[in-house]
Amino acid sequence: MKKAVSIILIIFLIIFMQVNVSYADDSIDDVMGSAEEFIRNGEEHSPINRDSLKGTTDLLYNLLLGFAIAVAVGVGVTLGIKYMAGSLDEKAVTKQQLIGYVISCVVVFGAFGIWALAVNILSAI
């Protein structure tokens, strides 16, 4: 019974469902012309001041990089002291923590490198 009802429902939906298909009336030249006009309008009426944006991103980059360096040095010093002053069991635990520390430093400073690379590439455009 349920199967028959679902088949009837599917047939009903297929028959009475309207599918609107529209095709573009514009040629490639019209589309490209509209795209170029869109880009020109964006360049003429851009609310973004590039010098101000560069100054802001440089400030943010330097602040975050300084904070990341301070945290990395602090955690590194703490782990080093724990390793030097600990017993054998504590040294084993600290070595495991050093693996995570090194991986996190690579990720954080790699992200800063990618950010600097992206800014340099985009500023050349």
The predicted-structure confidence for 8-55, as pLDDT tens digits, reads as follows 888 777 777 766 655 556 678 888 888 888 888 877 777 777 778 788
User: pTM (2 decimals)?
Assistant: 0.57
User: Looking at the domain assignment, is residue 103 inside a domain?
Assistant: yes
Least confident of 35-49, 61-75, 89-103: 35-49
% of the chain at pLDDT higher than 90: 40
pLDDT at 100: 93
Q: How many residues does this entry show for the chain?
A: 125
Number of domains in the chain: 1
User: Looking at the domain assignment, is residue 104 inside a domain?
Assistant: yes
User: Looking at the domain assignment, is residue 113 inside a domain?
Assistant: yes
User: Looking at the domain assignment, is residue 125 inside a domain?
Assistant: yes
User: Looking at the domain assignment, is residue 82 inside a domain?
Assistant: yes
Average the pLDDT over 65-94 and give the result.
93
Indicate the pLDDT class of residue 5, thresholds 50, 70 and 90. confident
Q: Is 79 exposed, middle or buried (0-12, 13-18, 19+ CB in 10 A)?
A: middle
Domain coverage including residue 79: 49-125
